[in-house]
Amino acid sequence: MSKLNTVLARAIIAVIGLGLSVPAAAQFEVAPDHFPDSAAAQAKPQIRKQDRSLNNRIAELQSELDGYQWQINQRASALEAGRRLADGPGGEGEFAAIFIDEYLLRYRELEQLKQNLAP
């Protein structure tokens, strides 16, 4: 009985092994000549077209960011000029409030611009 179980177990293992190796053998039958050679050649122009499209979009966005940076720099320059006036001789005496208010206005404008451009 033990001998029969051993033979039966070996037969089952052999059938399972054969069953697992058949799909792998089918994979080896697929040859590269089943596919058209032009598939790779067709893919390259499509990829180049996508690359150009992405590069153009990146350039547009970079230009837009540069414009935003220019606006911020302009407002920062105006803010700095207002600060110099408020700190200098213009910020003393009875007209000091005018220069300080001008500085605060420029500061608020700059902060508002940064907030608007942040999204």
pLDDT of residue 62: 92
Summarised one tens digit per residue, pLDDT across range 38-72 is: 555 566 677 787 888 888 899 999 998 898 889 88
Distance between terminal CA atoms of the chain?
A: 80
- What lies within 8 Å, CB to CB, of 73 at 6+ separation is none
Smallest CA-to-CA distance from 107 within 91, 87, 83, 89 is with 83
- The more confident residue out of 61 and 99 is 61
Q: How far apart are CA 106 and CA 75, in angstroms?
A: 7
Stronger pLDDT, 94 or 59, i.e. the higher one: 59
CA distance linking residue 11 with residue 4, whole number of Å: 10
Most confident option among 13-17, 18-22, 88-92, 113-117: 113-117
- Tell if the pTM clears 0.75, that is, is over it: no
Q: Write b or e for each residue in 25-44: b if 16 or more Cβ atoms lie within 10 A of its Cβ, otherwise e.
A: eeeeeeeeeeeeeeeeeeee
**Mean predicted confidence (pLDDT) in 92-116:** 82
